[in-house]
Homo-oligomer: A and B are copies of this chain.
């Protein structure tokens, strides 16, 4: 059973809701493994440190899914969220920059687990070009635009130094890529029809330092939204 989600509902989903959908998706995957058939908003809320009201509000996007007293059907809800997040398919991903972060990401199992398959690697270092990382031969970044097109790449992960990031991202955009995850600490410019996410891991530490410095506010600052 799959309940369709209407375009108008998809439009109303905010960034923080997407984040919580990712969390629910993980919780539901685990619950399915543990052979749960249904789950209450209370249980989901407890697992993700949210309020039951927030969970019910988020999941109300999917229509009258939960049954009062019975909870949500785990398998169906997981499939529904998987579909809306685009996790019911695989994505062809290219990784640019095989430095410290890039090398770690090639082996990062959470990507492939969610269908994000790194199928191309690029670098500008002659010692790295041609080398094999987890079965993928590193390509020369000089062929970036052509190879991104030829290999039907859908997403790019950028793990290059900040100084060259804009230059490379311009090439990526020219290749028609519409989704970029950037690890470089740079304020990159892309056209309006290209989705760019910046990953800065020190920002996660900043929540922690904020929390410690302002610890009397603990109850109000909900960590792990």
Contacts and interface: CB of A to CB of B under 8 A. Distances in A.
Interface of A: 7, 10-16, 18-19, 21-22, 26-27, 30, 47, 84-87, 91, 93, 100-101, 103-105, 107-111, 113-116, 154-155, 157, 178-181, 185, 187, 193, 195-218, 220-225
A21 B213 CA distance: 15
12 contacts: A11-B220, A12-B220, A18-B207, A18-B210, A26-B185, A87-B209, A100-B103, A103-B104, A116-B209, A154-B212, A157-B205, A179-B211
Given A11-B216, A91-B205, A113-B202, 18 more contacts: A11-B220, A13-B214, A13-B217, A14-B221, A22-B203, A85-B210, A87-B206, A100-B108, A101-B104, A111-B205, A114-B206, A155-B208, A179-B209, A181-B208, A195-B207, A195-B208, A195-B223, A197-B207
A107 to B, nearest CB: 5
Given A100-B108, A108-B100, A198-B224, A212 B181 contact: no
A84 B217 CA distance: 12
A26 B206 CA distance: 12
A206 B30 contact: no
Contacts of A157: 205
A209 B111 contact: no
A164 to B, nearest CB: 15
A187 B220 contact: no
Nearest to A25: B206
Given A14-B221, A204-B199, A210 B84 contact: yes
Contacts of A85: 206, 209-210, 213
